[in-house]
């Protein structure tokens, strides 16, 4: 798949919505330019829509069906294919209307084709720009920035905890160091590809084992993941930073500790990740939380566009993060 | 022989310090505390020479604990310990406060113990911004240190040299200026009278009552948990319209 990303994935709901918005805005602009007053504007937009919407929708429908074929082409061929398809649909609908005498004064085909192709070209240019703004180089830089933000507080405290174990419980110290190595291997890896959910869960468990070492009975975890699809694909490091936030902001400030609840389930072909932790109003300046959330949100958008969402709320001394993402299975 | 108190919320961190102190020798660990509040109480009872004080702790952090520790009759020397805290480290370096970075090295700890001494007032002043708002007030009463949670305070009233601190249970006397308290706990209290700060959280409402002398009507604030009311001075009446 040579052109993944640069050509819009027309099967994605968010992309489809954007195409519709761009095309209809263009139509409205045309109507506005030609019209003399408000009544005229509505009159014109109705006429233009009656002509243009069938062209737009049939093009989109064909593109939707032909998407697997288009992905096999390179970028240039893909562009030509899409524009050819738009030309074909526009001409077909035009000749249909011309034969049926639906409109009294149909504009020349060349002018309609010019408009249709202009709008298509603009839309494709927009998606190309958008892709470049979110290109792997930029994404990677952002990912690396995120990795640098893994709390040094956690690293040094964990090393300190392991040091305290070496004399009295060498076995436990060994396990802790192994967990730490695994954790940092993932944190330092190339994290652009989606990973199975089960892998992210395993990472969280290792991270929590280390925190448990320091916080002991103050840290309780409740996993509600019986209905979780282990092979579903998610962006890596989506859950772990959230768990880390929950420990840092939720559990550590409580002398008696508290419980973090992690709930994962599927509903209507969507995966829901829900994380809850106790939360008391901060007495000190706290930073970093918003940054991690923003970063995760951004990566979800890069991978799933509008089909993924992240919401957080705070009520009755409890903080909740709720992530929804489409259920993508591993390809075999 | 140095008497040492260890304060850290994480058991492994306390164990590590205990191991290192045993290696160094010539010291005695008088107690271990899991938060700043506990450290303060233990220090008040046991009068250690040195407190090894973690910064990030629940209930009361190390910075606030250090401020209260200075008010003890025999203030201990303080060595802060921290895994990572850019702001704190900058402040420590600037005011030459002793601190140890975790994981702590034996030689560094040894050196810190040798030169440990009580914090100077100007050093304390440099640390104040790190703990923007205290969670407790320390009150000295018959040679004992009492900790009053700021959230429990209903009102603060200036009386000659002292400030009366009123909680639901009782009153305390504090040697402090009302203006200073007003600045520190700005968002929690409202100044209803020249000599009185009242906690927003404990105000039930306001009522117009006639005062005895001139028969003039005056606004008073009704409070939760206590029968007494606080007169709202004429100058401050605009405040209650807003609230």
Domain boundaries in chain A? 13-133, 137-326
The count of CB pairs under 8 A between chains A and B is 64
Answer for the pair A51, A97: CB distance below 8 angstroms, yes or no.
yes
What is the structure's pLDDT at A131? 79
Which of A110-114, A214-218, A308-312, B238-242 is predicted with the least confidence, judged by mean pLDDT? B238-242
Q: How far is B229 from chain A (nearest CA, A)?
A: 29
Say which residue, B16 or A103, is predicted with more confidence.
B16
What is the structure's pLDDT at A1? 40
- Arithmetic mean of pLDDT, A318-328: 92
- Arithmetic mean of pLDDT, A302-309: 83
Cα separation, B243 vs B189, whole angstroms: 12
Taking the CB of residue B169, how many other CB atoms lie within 10 A of it? 10
Residues 4-43 of B with CB under 8 A from A: 9-13, 15-16, 19, 34-35
Q: Do A214 and B12 touch (CB under 8 A)?
A: yes
Q: What is the mean pLDDT of chain B?
A: 87
Q: Which one of 2.80.10.50, 3.30.565.10, 3.30.1480.10, 3.40.50.800 gives the CATH number of domain A137-326?
A: 3.30.565.10
What is the structure's pLDDT at A289? 62
Interface probe, candidates A150, A163, A215, chain B, greatest B C-beta count within 10 A: A163
Q: Say if residue A308's pLDDT is above 70.
A: yes
What is the structure's pLDDT at A2? 46
Partner residue opposite A213 with nearest CB, options B12, B56, B101: B12
- Residue A284 — pLDDT band, cuts 50, 70, 90? very low
H-assigned helices in chain B: 11-24, 36-46, 62-69, 86-95, 106-115, 121-127, 178-184, 237-242
Helix (H) or strand (E) holding A300: helix A289-304
Kindly list the domain boundaries of chain B, sorted by start residue: 2-130, 136-242
- Residue B104 — pLDDT band, cuts 50, 70, 90? very high
Q: Say if residue A165's pLDDT is above 50.
A: yes
Q: How far is A160 from chain B (nearest CA, A)?
A: 5
- Report, at the CATH architecture level, how domain B136-242 is classified: Beta Barrel (2.40)
Of all residues in chain A, the one with the smallest CA distance to B15 is A164
pLDDT digits (tens, 9 = 90+) for B117-135: 777 777 777 777 777 678 8
Q: How far is A26 from chain B (nearest CA, A)?
A: 50
Of all residues in chain A, the one with the smallest CA distance to B36 is A255
What is the structure's pLDDT at A285? 43
Residue among B229, B169, B148 at smallest CA distance from B196? B229
Q: Do A215 and B10 touch (CB under 8 A)?
A: yes
Fold match flag (B2-130 vs B136-242): no
Residue among A279, A278, A274, A270 at smallest CA distance from A312? A274
**CB burial class (10 A; 0-12, 13-18, 19+) of residue A73?**
middle
Cα separation, B152 vs A155, whole angstroms: 37
- Arithmetic mean of pLDDT, A268-272: 91
Q: Annotate B137-146 with b (16+ C-beta within 10 A) or e (fewer).
A: bbbeeeeebb
Complex ipTM > 0.85: no
Of all residues in chain A, the one with the smallest CA distance to B85 is A153
Which of A66-75, A117-126, A212-221 is predicted with the least confidence, judged by mean pLDDT? A66-75
Superfamily of domain B2-130: Response regulator (3.40.50.2300)
Work out whether strand B217-223 and strand B162-166 pair parallel, antiparallel, or are unpaired.
Answer: unpaired
Q: How far is B210 from chain A (nearest CA, A)?
A: 40
pLDDT digits (tens, 9 = 90+) for A29-49: 888 888 888 888 888 888 888
What is the structure's pLDDT at A102? 66
Partners of A215 on chain B (C-beta within 8 Å) are: 10
pLDDT digits (tens, 9 = 90+) for A119-154: 899 988 888 888 777 766 666 666 555 554 567 788
- Residue B177 — pLDDT band, cuts 50, 70, 90? confident
Q: Say if residue A15's pLDDT is above 90.
A: no
Radius of gyration from C-alpha coordinates of chain A: 27
List Cα–Cα distances, B118 to A203, B124, B212, B243, in angstroms.
45, 10, 53, 45
Interface of A with B (CB under 8 A): 151-153, 155-157, 159-161, 163-165, 167-168, 213-216, 252-255, 283-285
Cα separation, A249 vs B231, whole angstroms: 41
Q: Say if residue A181's pLDDT is above 60.
A: yes
Say which residue, A142 or B63, is predicted with more confidence.
B63
With a threshold of 0.95, does the pTM exceed it?
no
List Cα–Cα distances, A156 to A9, A147, B9, B10, in angstroms.
44, 16, 15, 13
Partner residue opposite B15 with nearest CB, options A151, A164, A255: A164
């Amino acid at each position: 798949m040579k052109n993944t990303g640069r050509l819009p994935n027309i099967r994605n709901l968010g992309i489809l919505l954007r195409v519709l918005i761009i095309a209809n805005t263009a139509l409205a602009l045309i109507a506005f330019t030609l019209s003399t007053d408000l009544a005229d504007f509505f009159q014109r937009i109705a006429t233009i829509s009656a002509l243009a919407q069938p062209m737009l929708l049939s093009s989109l429908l064909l593109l939707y069906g032909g998407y697997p074929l288009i992905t096999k082409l390179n970028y240039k061929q893909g562009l030509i294919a899409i524009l050819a398809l738009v030309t074909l649909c526009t001409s077909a609908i035009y000749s249909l209307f011309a034969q049926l005498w639906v409109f009294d004064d149909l504009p020349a085909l060349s002018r309609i084709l010019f408009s249709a192709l202009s709008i298509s070209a603009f839309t494709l240019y927009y998606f190309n720009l958008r892709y470049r703004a979110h290109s792997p180089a930029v994404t990677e830089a952002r990912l690396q920035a995120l990795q640098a933000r893994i709390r040094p507080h956690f690293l040094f405290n964990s090393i300190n905890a392991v040091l305290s174990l070496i004399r009295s419980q060498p076995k436990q110290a060994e396990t802790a160091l192994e967990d730490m190595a695994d954790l940092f291997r993932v944190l330092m890896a190339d994290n652009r590809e989606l990973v199975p959910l089960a892998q992210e869960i395993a990472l969280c468990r290792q991270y929590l084992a280390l925190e448990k070492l320091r916080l002991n009975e103050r840290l309780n975890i409740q996993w509600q993941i019986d209905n979780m699809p282990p092979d579903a694909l998610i962006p890596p490091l989506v859950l772990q930073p959230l768990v880390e936030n929950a420990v840092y902001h939720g559990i550590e400030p409580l002398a008696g500790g508290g419980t973090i609840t992690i709930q994962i389930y599927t509903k209507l072909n969507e995966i829901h990740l829900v994380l809850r932790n106790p939360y008391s109003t901060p007495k000190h300046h706290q930073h970093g939380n918003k940054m991690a959330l923003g970063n995760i949100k951004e990566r979800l958008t890069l991978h799933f566009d509008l089909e993924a969402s992240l919401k957080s709320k705070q009520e009755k001394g409890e903080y909740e993060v709720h992530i929804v993402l489409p259920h993508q299975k591993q390809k075999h | 022989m140095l008497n040492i108190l260890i304060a850290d919320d994480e058991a492994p961190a306390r164990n590590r310090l205990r191991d290192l102190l045993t290696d160094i020798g010539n010291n005695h660990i008088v107690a271990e505390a899991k938060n700043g509040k506990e450290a303060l109480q233990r220090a008040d009872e046991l009068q250690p020479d040195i407190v090894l004080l973690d910064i990030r702790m629940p209930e009361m952090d190390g910075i606030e604990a250090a401020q209260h520790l200075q008010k003890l009759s025999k203030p201990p020397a303080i060595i802060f310990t921290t895994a990572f805290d850019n702001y704190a480290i900058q402040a420590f370096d600037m005011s030459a406060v002793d601190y140890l970075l975790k994981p702590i090295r034996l030689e560094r700890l040894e050196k810190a113990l040798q030169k440990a001494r009580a914090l100077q007032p100007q050093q304390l002043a440099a640390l104040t911004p790190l703990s923007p708002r205290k969670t407790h007030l320390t009150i000295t009463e018959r040679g004992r240190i009492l900790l009053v949670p700021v959230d429990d305070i209903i009102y603060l009233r200036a009386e000659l040299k002292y400030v009366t601190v009123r909680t639901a249970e009782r009153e305390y006397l504090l040697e402090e200026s009302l203006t200073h308290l007003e600045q520190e706990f700005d968002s929690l209290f409202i100044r209803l009278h020249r000599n009185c700060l009242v906690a927003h959280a404990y105000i039930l409402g306001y009522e117009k009552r006639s005062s005895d002398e001139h028969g003039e009507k005056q606004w008073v604030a009704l409070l939760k948990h206590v029968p007494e009311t606080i007169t709202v001075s004429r100058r401050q009446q605009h405040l209650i319209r807003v609230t």
